[in-house]
Homo-oligomer: A and B are copies of this chain.
Amino acid sequence: LGTRRKESGDGRVTIRDVARASGVSVGTVSRALNGYPDVSEATRERIARFAREMDYTPAAAARTLVLERSHVIGAVLETGEGHPDLQHPFFHGVLVGLQERIGAAGYDLLLFASAGSGFGPDSYLRRCHHHSTDGVVLMGEPDPAEVERLMRSRIPCVGVDLVLDGGNASQVISDNVAGAAMAVAHLAELGHRRVATITGLLETRPARDRLTGYRQELQRRGLPYRDDYVVYGDYYPDSGTEAIASLLALEEPPTAVFCASDLMALGVLRGAAAAGVSVPEQLSVIGFDDIMVATHSDPPLTTLRQDKHGLGVATAEALLERIEGAEDATPARTLPVELIARGTCAPAAEPDR
């Protein structure tokens, strides 16, 4: 008896197979393999050996079902209208760090596309429940209503460059205001007094913070703040190109621009070239992120480096902390950014005019 079901070719090897092979009950196998103390060393080893030889792999589904823990964490990358965020290099760096760190803790990453996509507008929350996700990380610009729903649930969340207010949520974020301030300071020290900024999407926390930092440092140094020196972008190259065109058309154009992303800075470089103004001689440019290609523009981009990998790792740790049930979880972590001076900034041509 019992030989009926499993011997047929297809079969995955289950705990029962291991039990049968090692001549013990499934309960014992389970205990042995999960390191319970109440198993004799002898049996434990025998079981372990058989498990290895048979290449036994516990079925996650079964374990999830009984444990109510899946060891899967969901990653939500909301694709902003027309701009799949998955496309933005910044996120990849973060993903790598996240992946590494949770992988080391025995978790895997389930990638959620935008809620609207795919079959039916299933909310993230539903999808998390469906997969019994142990936690979620949110990146990009998720739908506020979705986020709200998630916050009301008891699923641990962490937002990357996102403000999350629920009790079960943490956030990790770069020090955007300090970064922006460093940019302005750098420019000011080069003698620039007319420094403009191209913002990111202002619905977005980092964009607002970067703008704040820009303003604060301007003020701290007694540099003039003008409304027409603030142009709104969307983080992507084209918006940079357009923005610089309008800035250059001003009666009194800026001598320096701080861009809220490298991609926009690249767009600026291009727009400047088109307009015949040379960087850095006639215009200093500074970006934000330090994506891979920043080194390879001409001239190479001066920028504020975000520790993308570190953000990913911090995200993982914030999440694990919550999952492991720390009630005193650190609600927010801020990572420093670093100014990388390359070739797009030069002393102001006319210190005074």
| Chain A residues in the interface with B (C-beta under 8 A) | 10, 12, 55, 57-62, 64-65, 70, 72, 75, 79, 84, 86-87, 89, 92-93, 95-96, 99-100, 103-106, 108-113, 117-119, 126-127, 129-132, 154, 237, 263, 266-267, 269-270, 273, 292-293, 295-298, 300
Contacts and interface: CB of A to CB of B under 8 A. Distances in A.
A106 B12 CA distance: 24
Contact of A59 (B57, B100, B130, B266): B130
Contact of A61 (B64, B106, B269): B64
Contacts of A131: 60-61, 108
Contacts of A93: 87
Given A266-B293, A270-B296, A57 B113 contact: no
Contacts of A266: 293, 296
Contacts of A95: 86, 111
A267 B292 contact: no
Nearest to A268: B296
Contacts of A61: 60-62, 64-65, 70, 131-132
Given A100-B117, A111-B111, A57 B126 contact: yes
B298 A297 contact: yes
B110 A108 contact: yes
A100 B118 contact: yes
B59 A62 contact: no
Contacts of A64: 61
A166 to B, nearest CB: 17
A154 B11 CA distance: 11
8 contacts: A59-B130, A79-B96, A87-B93, A87-B96, A103-B119, A237-B293, A237-B296, A270-B300
A335 B267 CA distance: 30
Nearest to A273: B298
Nearest to A295: B237
A57 B104 contact: no
B103 A96 contact: no
Nearest to A107: B118
A92 B88 CA distance: 9
Contacts of A113: 99-100, 103
Contacts of A237: 292-293, 295-296
A112 B117 contact: no
A221 B99 CA distance: 48
A296 B241 CA distance: 10
A210 B61 CA distance: 43
CB-based closest 7 A-B pairs: A103-B118, A61-B64, A266-B296, A109-B111, A57-B129, A61-B65, A61-B61
A276 B130 CA distance: 59
Nearest to A103: B118
A111 B99 contact: yes
Contacts of A100: 113, 117-118
A45 B110 CA distance: 32
A243 to B, nearest CB: 14
